[in-house]
């Protein structure tokens, strides 16, 4: 009997140890599960909080958007009815060249097709004449129907085609160049006849200057800005 008890003692001990380890592991596993559930619950609460804040912020932004739209609509209506604002808008359109204008000025006709011409009119010649008219106070200028604005480029395409605002201007019937300028007629005439006309005539070109009431078309292009941005008000 004693021998039988001794023979069972070791296996029983081992089973008891194994059961103890299993119970310990089960307890630890339960703790880990509880901790994971707690973490998941905390994360869920955090997500709910973030979602609630985002929804609240979205609602505020939508309200601001509606307010700004109302203000913009009111401003547009005000511009359409307020004579002072409407006048300012027209002044700005004239300044940027997007408004057709008429008024007193001078019309300059230049013909460089004669065999006596040493050198045909160049882009540098055109740019210099435009700058002279601006210096003389011209309020609006056009060359062969192309309105001269701040972004106007006068360039040579190929061997002889001159482009103004990207449009060929020296492939027309009759006199190839017609430069119109609105402003004080006496000042414009004085500046151009003394600073530009002599060199053109010396080169063999035919130049005539006429005082006229002119109609100058609007700029047909578009203003685009990739890099320039308004400075934020402080």
Residues 212 and 105 in one domain: yes
Residues 52 and 125 in one domain: no
Give the residue numbers spanning the domain of 70. 1-81
pLDDT digits (tens, 9 = 90+) for 155-209: 988 877 889 988 888 755 556 899 999 999 999 999 999 999 999 999 999 999 9
Asked if the structure places residue 181 within a domain, the reply is yes
pLDDT digits (tens, 9 = 90+) for 139-158: 999 999 999 998 888 998 88
Residues 122 and 186 in one domain: yes
Q: How many domains does the chain have?
A: 2
Asked if the structure places residue 94 within a domain, the reply is no
Between CA 89 and CA 86 the distance in angstroms is 5
Residues 130 and 203 in one domain: yes
Residues 39 and 76 in one domain: yes
Asked which of 53, 81, 109 is the last residue of a domain, the reply is 81
Asked if the structure places residue 226 within a domain, the reply is no
- Range with lowest mean pLDDT among 52-56, 104-108, 165-169: 52-56
Question: What is the helix (H) or strand (E) element at residue 52, kind and residue range?
Answer: helix 2-81
Range 188-195 contact pairs with CB under 8 angstroms and sequence separation of 24 or more: 188/105, 188/106, 188/133, 188/136, 188/137, 188/138, 189/106, 190/136, 191/132, 191/133, 191/135, 191/136, 192/106, 192/108, 192/129, 192/132, 192/133, 192/136, 195/132
């Amino acid at each position: 009997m004693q021998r039988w008890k001794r023979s069972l003692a070791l296996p029983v001990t081992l089973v008891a140890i194994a059961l103890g380890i299993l119970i310990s592991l089960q307890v630890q596993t339960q703790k880990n599960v509880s901790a994971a559930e707690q973490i998941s619950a905390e994360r869920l609460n955090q997500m709910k909080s973030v979602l609630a804040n985002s929804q609240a912020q979205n609602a505020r932004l939508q309200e601001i958007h509606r307010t700004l739209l109302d203000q913009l609509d009111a401003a547009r209506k005000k511009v359409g009815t307020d004579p002072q604002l409407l006048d300012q808008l027209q002044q700005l359109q004239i300044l940027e060249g997007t408004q057709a204008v008429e008024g007193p000025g001078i019309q300059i006709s230049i013909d460089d097709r004669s065999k006596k011409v040493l050198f045909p009119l160049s882009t540098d010649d055109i740019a210099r004449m435009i700058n002279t008219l601006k210096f003389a106070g011209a309020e609006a200028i056009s060359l062969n129907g192309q309105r001269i604005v701040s972004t106007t480029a006068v360039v040579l395409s190929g061997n002889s085609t001159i482009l103004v605002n990207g449009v060929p201007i020296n492939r027309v019937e009759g006199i190839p160049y017609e430069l119109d300028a609105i402003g004080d007629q006496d000042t414009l005439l004085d500046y151009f006849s003394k600073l530009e006309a002599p060199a053109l005539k010396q080169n063999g070109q035919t130049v005539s200057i006429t005082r006229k009431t002119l109609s100058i078309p609007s700029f047909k292009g578009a203003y685009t800005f990739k890099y320039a941005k308004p400075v934020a008000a402080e």
